[in-house]
Each structure stands twice: as C-alpha cells, then as structure tokens.
Amino acid sequence: MDPFLKATWLISAGLAAFSIVVALYLALRRVAEDFFNARQETKRQKIKSVLFDVIDQRVTQDDARELLKKYSQINLLDVAGPLRRTLKGNGLNSLDTLLNSLIDIDELLDRMAEGSTSVRAALYADMTWVDDRRVYLAATQALHDPAPQVVLAAAYALAETRTGLSIQTAWMRMTRDDMIGHLGVRQLFRKLAKTQSKAIRGMLYVGDRIALLAADALANSNDFECISDLSALAAEHGSADVRAACVRALGELQHPSGSAAINSALSDPSWTVRTQAAIAASRLGLNDSIDILAALLSDEFWWVRFRAAESLAQLGPEGLAALKNAVRSNANSDVGSLVLRELS
C-alpha cells in the first residue's frame, strides 16, 4: 500500500480506536467515582451534622474533635467553607474555634502553595477562620501570584482580618494591567474605602484608570473630606470618564458641599458627564438646578434628556411642575412626556 495512503488509514483508524477506548475507560472510571462520591457524600453529611451540633452547642468542642478527627482535612474544609458563609456571631465563633483546633496548618499551607489555581483561590477565599500568622503571611505572598483570581481571593481575605489590607498594597498589586479591569478589584476598593478613604484620595491624581477606580471607591466611602478633590476633578480633569465618575461619586455622597460642582457639571461638554450630573442633582435634591435640568430636556442626547426628566420628576412638586411646564411648552420634549407617563 502507498505509504501516504497507508498513513491516512492508520492515523484515522488509530485515533478513532484510541478515542473509543478512552471513552470506555472514562465510563468505567465514572462507575468507580460514583461509588466513591456516594461514600464521600455520606462522610460530608456526617461532618455537617457534627458541625451543626457544634454551632448549636449541642456537643462540646472536645467531643466534636473526637468525632471529626477520623475525617480528612479536605472533607472538613469542603463542608466548613460554605457553611461559614451562612453564619455569624456565636455560631461562627464556635465553628472557627473548632476548625483551628482540628486543621493541620502545615498541610493547609502546602495546599495553598501547591494546589491548582482554583484550589489556591478557594483556600484563600475561605481562610479568614485561621488564627495562625503563617497563613496570613502566605496570603500576603499570594498577592504576587500570577493568577488574578488568587490575588483577589487573598486580598479579600486579608481585608477581612484585623490588621487588614493597606490601600498602598492593594494599589500596587491590583492595578497591574491584567487586573485593573476586573470588577472584583473595583469591589475591593469600595470595601477598603470605608476605612482608608484618605489614602484612596491620593489615587485620584495618578492615571485615568486608577482615578476612575478611586472615584468609584470614594462614592461608597462616606468621607466628605474628599468632596473638594472630587469637585475640582469634576470640573477640570481632561478625561470625560473621570469627570463623570467624580460627579457620580458626588451624587452618591449626597453632601451639600458637592452641589456647586454638580450644577457646573450639568453644562459639561460631555454628554456622559451631563447624564451623571442630572442623576446626582436629584440625589442631592438640588432645587436650584431645576432650570438647567429643564433646559436639558432639549439636549441632543437621549440619555441626558431622559435622566434630566427623571431628576425633575424626583425633585418634589417644584421639579414636577417644571417638568410638566417644559413638556407643555416644548414640543421637542418627547422623553419628558414619556417619563411623566411612565412615573404616573
């Protein structure tokens, strides 16, 4: 037979036969795994039952330790991790005390260092029960991990601890190119902003992407001292996205000292900034901006018209009257009339 044609035959038939053998092997493996998983599930149910008894203080810690010591750490952590998320108060404290006395930290550290990406991320995400300094050091090291999900899991866990995660560390580790667009990073900065808003203010002046992250975080901070920074940037920053983020933050903070900046932003050349300013105006209840908002009902951009109409409708009787007037007198106020009907 011609070698080329023979090779074609052999490769096709060989691969087909190989794939069938592998499929049959996987089916057999599945039978074995189903059996194994059923046993694991029984074990997990037993562990869960003991843990519930500990949480409800139906058994002592010593008795629970005795009952659980025959089970593997993997099983124990698999059950305890999800359970912890649903608990707080004394129940959580009892469970954490038990885990600290049962889990071999060296083994845990090994898995944190050598596990697959998803295993590492899961272990760091669930590590807040550990009362051992070595685990926190490992989490700090994990902030250098190449996998973003491991870095985020470790950062979230560190942020939960007493010593916490400093904004400078988060800034250095989270703003690398493959992480800055992660919405989890945005969430982390929002969390950190509640306690470290002063440090976040400094980030407003770095680069556009970091400034966006900082403005978003400050919006959730209740730090009214940042209003002057946000107001200045809302007026002067070269990027429309950053100006819009600052205006949004001023609206979320709902402090009267931000009203001047919001009023000015209603006339910003960028439609995204005007849209955010319209939303912010109603959040602050800025009745002195009613005239500008009414003028925005004729804006060339639909979203500006829509948000201006919504804001007017939310600014009490005065705003509503202005919206009705504008709709009556302005034939172009299509959105205004629709918003009026939608809200009614």
Partner 1 sequence: MSEYYAIIRNLMARSIEWLGESSAVVLETLSGASIFLRATQFGDTTVLIAVTVAWLIFINGIVLNALYTVQFLLGYKALRRRGRVKDSLSAWWRFHRQTLPICLIVPAYNEEETVADNVRSLLALHYPEFEIVIVNDGSQDGTLEVLRKAFDLKPAVRAYDPVLEHAAIRGFYKADNYPKLLVIDKENGGKADALNAGINVARSPLVCAVDADSILESDALLRAVQPFVEDFDHIIAVGGSIRVANGCQVRHGRVTSIGLPTDALSLFQIVEYFRAFLIARLGWSELGAMMLISGAFGIFKRSILMQVGGYSRDMVGEDMEIIVKMHRVMGERDNDYKMMFVPEPVCWTIAPTRLRDLGGQRKRWERGSLESFFKHRDMMGRSEYGVAGSIGYANILITDVIGPPLEVLGYITMPILYGLGMLNLDFFLAYLAITFVYGVFLSVGSLILAEMQLRRYPKAWHLLVLTAAAILENFGYRQINNWWRVVGWVEFVRGKGGWGKIRRSAFERG
Q: Which residues of the chain form contacts with partner 1 (CB under 8 A)?
A: 1-6, 8-9, 11-13, 15-16, 18-20, 22-24, 26-28, 30-31, 34, 82, 85, 116-118, 122, 125, 148, 181-184, 186-187, 302-303, 306, 309, 335, 338-339, 341-342
Closest approach, Cβ 304 to partner 1, in A, equals 11
Closer CB to partner 1, 148 or 251, in the complex: 148
Closer CB to partner 1, 216 or 229, in the complex: 216
Closest approach, Cβ 282 to partner 1, in A, equals 16
Residues 253 and 235 sit within 8 Å (Cβ to Cβ) = no
State the Cα–Cα distance between residues 334 and 298, nearest whole angstrom: 9
Distances (CA, A) of 250 to 122, 177, 185, 216, 306: 36, 28, 21, 10, 20
Phi, psi of 162 (to 5 degrees): -65, -45
| Residue 195 neighbours by CB under 8 Å, 6+ apart | 164
Closest approach, Cβ 59 to partner 1, in A, equals 26
Query: If DSSP codes are grouped into helix, strand and coil, which group holds residue 190?
Result: helix
Closest approach, Cβ 33 to partner 1, in A, equals 9
> DSSP string of 233-247?
HHHH-S-HHHHHHHH
Closer CB to partner 1, 64 or 127, in the complex: 127
Torsion of CA 175, 181, 248, 232, to 10 degrees: 40
Closer CB to partner 1, 44 or 65, in the complex: 44
Closer CB to partner 1, 136 or 306, in the complex: 306
Closest approach, Cβ 276 to partner 1, in A, equals 14
What angle (nearest 5°) sits at the alpha carbon of residue 213, between those of residues 212 and 218?
A: 100
Question: Among 292, 297, 231, which Cα is nearest to 259's?
Answer: 231
Closer CB to partner 1, 224 or 303, in the complex: 303
Closest approach, Cβ 179 to partner 1, in A, equals 9
Q: How far out from the chain centre does Cα 26 lie?
A: 38
Closer CB to partner 1, 280 or 339, in the complex: 339
Residues 339 and 322 sit within 8 Å (Cβ to Cβ) = no
Closest approach, Cβ 184 to partner 1, in A, equals 5
